[in-house]
């Protein structure tokens, strides 16, 4: 009579470890080229994003269409925002240590803000009516947190070539370009430091919703040929 032999259990682990490594590598590739997930740790972008939200960020959205006024961007703040020690700006990589281990994710130098000024724009606050203007035209800001003024800090800046002027939607709680006017770079973020655009709130479940790009007409009436 022939007898069958049970395969040693440990044989299966020879395949499990390579599968885990492959899964991490594929995840890292997807996150570095297309999509990434971040955690919002503060109220600086309310009401659009709340503290505790997890957001899906596309790294490719600005390939077809360039960054525009009113766009929300996730960016690397090294050399611009990174000196801020406010606790109300950085977004945190959702996968934490794993993301840092594969070298593909941001951390304490990664921020999320809204684009108010493009290269060449003259951004001023505030005008006689207390509003924010771009190139002499008042900006409509329907995204502002209810009760917030456009800015308690007065400023008048011209955005240099290749840079952006960024502000949070919850102005009273946001450390942004205004906070770095006297620092090197003047709070202006290089365009090439933009990581991507949030496209979806994925957690909590009751806030699961797509994040669209605003129409230019809904953001500002400024006309400067851009």
Q: Is 144 exposed, middle or buried (CB count within 10 Å of its CB: 0-12, 13-18, 19+)? A: buried
Q: How far lies 40's CA from each of 59, 89, 188, 199, 203, in Å? A: 17, 9, 22, 14, 10
From residue 135, give the alpha-carbon distance in Å to each of 140, 169, 176.
13, 20, 20
- Residues forming the active site: 44, 113
d(CA 60, CA 9): 44
CA dihedral 77, 79, 85, 89 (to 10 degrees): -20
Nearest residue to 166 (alpha-carbon basis) of 224, 96, 84, 87: 84
Are 211 and 40 contacting, i.e. CB atoms less than 8 angstroms apart? no
Torsion angle of C-alpha atoms 141, 144, 147, 153, degrees rounded to 10: -80
What residues pair up with 75 in beta bridges, in sequence order? Answer: 111, 194
- Report how far residue 58's alpha carbon sits from residue 201's, in angstroms, rounded to the nearest whole number: 12
């Amino acid at each position: 009579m022939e007898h069958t032999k049970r395969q040693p259990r440990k044989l299966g682990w020879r395949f499990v470890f390579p599968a885990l490594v492959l899964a991490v590598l594929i995840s890292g590739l997807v996150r570095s080229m297309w999509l990434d997930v971040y955690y919002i740790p503060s109220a600086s972008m309310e009401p659009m994003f709340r503290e505790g939200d997890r957001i899906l960020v596309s790294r490719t959205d600005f390939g077809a269409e360039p960054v525009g006024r009113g766009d929300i961007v996730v960016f690397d703040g090294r050399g611009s925002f990174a000196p801020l020690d406010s606790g109300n700006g950085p977004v945190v990589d959702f996968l934490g240590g794993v993301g840092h281990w594969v070298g593909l994710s941001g951390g304490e130098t990664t921020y999320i803000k809204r684009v108010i000024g493009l290269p060449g724009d003259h951004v001023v606050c505030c005008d006689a009516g207390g509003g924010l203007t771009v190139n002499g035209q008042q900006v409509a800001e329907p995204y502002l947190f209810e009760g917030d003024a456009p800015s308690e800090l007065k400023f008048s800046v011209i955005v240099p070539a290749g840079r952006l002027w960024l502000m949070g939607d919850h102005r009273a709680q946001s450390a942004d370009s205004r906070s770095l006017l006297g620092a090197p770079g003047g709070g202006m973020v290089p365009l090439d430091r933009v990581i991507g655009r949030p496209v979806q709130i994925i957690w909590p479940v009751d806030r699961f919703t797509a994040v669209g790009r605003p129409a230019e007409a809904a953001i500002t009436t400024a006309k400067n040929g851009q």
